[in-house]
Amino acid sequence: MKKLLGLAIVLTGGFGFAQDIHFTQYQSQPMSQNPALVGINYDFSANLNYKDQWRQIGSPYKTFGASVDSKLNKESAQNGYFAAGINFFSDRAGDSKMGTTQGNASLAYHLFVAKHQTLGLGIMAGFAQRSIDYTFLTWGNQYDGTNYNPYLSSGENTGADSFTHADFAAGLVWSYNNKDERIQVTDNHDKKFTLGFSTYHLSRPKYSYLGTNHRLYMKFVLHGSAVISIAESRYAWLPGFMMYYQGKAKEILVGSLFRVKLQQDAKYTGYKQGAAISFGGYFRARDAFSPQILFEMHQFAIGVSYDVNISGLQPATNTRGGLEISLRFTNKNPFMDGDVKAISRFN
């Protein structure tokens, strides 16, 4: 039991090297990639994610994330615009409910560097609480030779059941977006690209239930995404990747969705609501393949993905990893041509 507990602690970022949470649909939680992504895609965006994983090998790991971000002064911008956002996540793992609850606030500035192009700098500050419940844990010393006896002392120095720390991050992002009011309603030639780099846990906060000087490793993230529409058609290609390194932990996620626009919003009457469906998948190196589907209708979207486990845990999980669901609301409508307009010296 001690070995199992030790393994669980390392996997969830406890006494061993710590590893942050992750979402398969990482695009739905932009501030978990880079604080500079606030305000990059929509005038206003609100997102919810829920992930349930490893249910087949015990108590499931449950992760919830929520975020809101908005442009601040886009309509009056000359050289660039500010954007801000807040995000929250809660992660609970295993019988001990070991997890993290954290809230963050982000501020970014996006500078117009060329026609349709911006370079953004973002910073983030937050506050986190780590917690664990020792009530349901069992230990080798609590077996009397025949049966398990919960009244026997575990003989373990379990330490505190919670601690708190401040957290900081910063990032850069380059963005290209050709969507403006010169595009006709019936066209479908959007081209959007983002490429960014960010660093989390800049202050390397103390990270131990035992009160030691163990500190959280900084996390380095490189990410990119694109929307490449096939001109005069209903189709678009949405490739993306995300790579992060944190101490000895690393994650590489790469894949693509293929979008079919079902109908375009009526630009003037509003009687016809735009819709699209996207499907595809992402591959997480040495861990999982995740088929995904995303349905968008007017200003709303819902996404569903499932991690098919291909790691060393496959015999125990029978390839079953985790279900994830995302919800999104945007304003202005992402299906309205000309929804992104900035008054810059390049227009």
Taking 90 as the threshold, does the pLDDT of residue 321 lie above it?
A: no
Closest to 192 in 3D by CA, of 21, 339, 35:
339
CB 171 within 8 A of CB 215: no
pLDDT tens for 126-148 read: 999 999 888 777 777 778 778 88
pLDDT tens for 19-61 read: 577 889 999 999 999 999 999 988 999 999 999 986 666 677 8
pTM for the structure as a whole: 0.83
pLDDT tens for 73-111 read: 866 678 899 999 999 999 987 777 888 999 999 999 999
d(CA 276, CA 258): 10
- What's the distance, CA 71 to chain centroid? 20
213 pLDDT band, cuts 50/70/90, is confident
- Which tokens sit at 95? 């019988």
Domains parsed from the chain with CATH numbers: 2-331 (2.40.160.40)
Average predicted confidence (pLDDT) for the chain:
82
Mean pLDDT (whole number) for 188-206? 91
Q: What's 110-145 look like in SS3?
A: EEEEECCEEEEEEEEEEEEEEECCCCCCCCHHHECC
d(CA 254, CA 250): 13
pLDDT of residue 7: 38
Strand, coil or helix: what is 6?
helix
pLDDT tens for 10-29 read: 333 333 344 577 889 999 99
Mean pLDDT (whole number) for 239-247? 95
